[in-house]
Amino acid sequence: MDSSTRPVTVIPISAFKDNYLWLLCRGAEAVVVDPGDAVPVERTLADRGLKLRAILLTHHHADHIGGVRALLDTREGQSLPVYGPANEPIDGVTDRLKEGDRIVLDAIGITFDILDIPGHTRGHIAYVAMPDESHPEAPLLLFCGDTLFAAGCGRLFEGTPAQMHDSLAKLAALPPDTRVYCAHEYTLSNLRFARAVEPDSDALERRVADADATRARGEPTLPSTIALERATNPFLRVDQAVVREAAERHAPGAGRTALSTFTALRRWKDSF
């Protein structure tokens, strides 16, 4: 089969304690998302005989950008494009992106649409792609950094609860079968919190059993899907009465609106 007709594959590269650096490959071409460390990226490229064609960055934190300089230095003279958020100063970025922008990566035959998803950081962006243009019905791929996590969401380091709430709503509106590639393996601890919010949820109970079994095999719990997040992620469920009531029990008055519920849940999770 000609490599150009093959769908893209997405490989998790583990780094640090619980980061995933995502590698998208088609044939012998590869693109890396959020390379916090160059060493495991170089090792994976070498092991699989892949050539790095572009770097995508979601936000400026060191565990997402720390490997960029070394990856570029090893490829001097190759003009490797580095895509990153327009509103965050990141060394090495060649293409500064904001919502509404679209980038075409010919090497892997993928087009990414950019979304602004501030909250975790001020300029955080997400990348949304179709994996295989000859199969338009194939699920979309979402690379969302530290904004939407499996069963949770990122901490608010620079943004407001309202910004994060809006950013998550934007991601939740993607098609239900969209594959969610977030940047950390936080799923089990996020699920413990989700259970505290919705102790009677059958969907959550099934997800915990699945995630426990996956981690027991040493495998990533990712990608998730938007459908699964909508069914079990408390931060996407702040319009649900049962979640509002949980927020209200934790902080009287908090359950009044979706945003006040979100704000209370985020604060509760910070000290959970």
As annotated, the active-site residues are 59, 61, 63-64, 120, 146, 184
Least distance from C-beta 137 to Zn ion, angstroms?
33
* Interaction of residue 61 with Zn ion, rule CB under 5 A: yes
Q: How many angstroms separate the CA atoms of 37 and 11, rounded? A: 15
Give contact residues for Fe ion (rule: CB under 5 A). Answer: 63, 146
User: Which of 66/220 has CB closer to Zn ion?
Assistant: 66
- Asked if 34 interacts with Zn ion (CB under 5 A), we say no
**Residue 198 interaction partner, one of Zn ion, Fe ion, none, beta carbon < 5-8 Å per kind:** none
Q: Which residues contact 21 (CB under 8 A, 6 or more apart)?
A: 12, 13, 14, 15, 32, 33, 34, 35, 36, 37, 40, 41, 67, 183
User: In angstroms, what CA-CA distances link 76 with 36, 198, 200, 230?
Assistant: 19, 52, 56, 44
**Minimal distance in Å, beta carbon 59 to Zn ion?**
6
Residue 7 DSSP label: P
Q: Do 23 and 41 meet the contact criterion of CB atoms below 8 Å apart?
A: yes
Q: Does 207 bind Zn ion (CB under 5 A)?
A: no
Give 63 or 229: the residue with its C-beta nearer to Fe ion.
Answer: 63
Rounded to a whole number of angstroms, the minimum distance from the CB of residue 90 to Fe ion is 14
Residue 179's binding partner out of Zn ion, Fe ion, none, with CB under 5 to 8 Å set by partner kind: none
Residue closer to Zn ion (CB basis): 130 or 153: 153
Binding to Zn ion, residues 98-157 (CB under 5 A): 146
Nearest-angstrom CA–CA distance, 174 and 184: 21
Of Fe ion, Zn ion, none, which one does residue 34 interact with (CB within 5 to 8 Å by kind)? Answer: none
Torsion sign, CA atoms 55, 58, 59, 62: negative
Smallest separation (angstroms) from Fe ion to the CB of 58? 9
CA contacts within 13 A on the Cβ side of 245: 6
The site for Zn ion (CB under 5 A) is made up of 61, 146
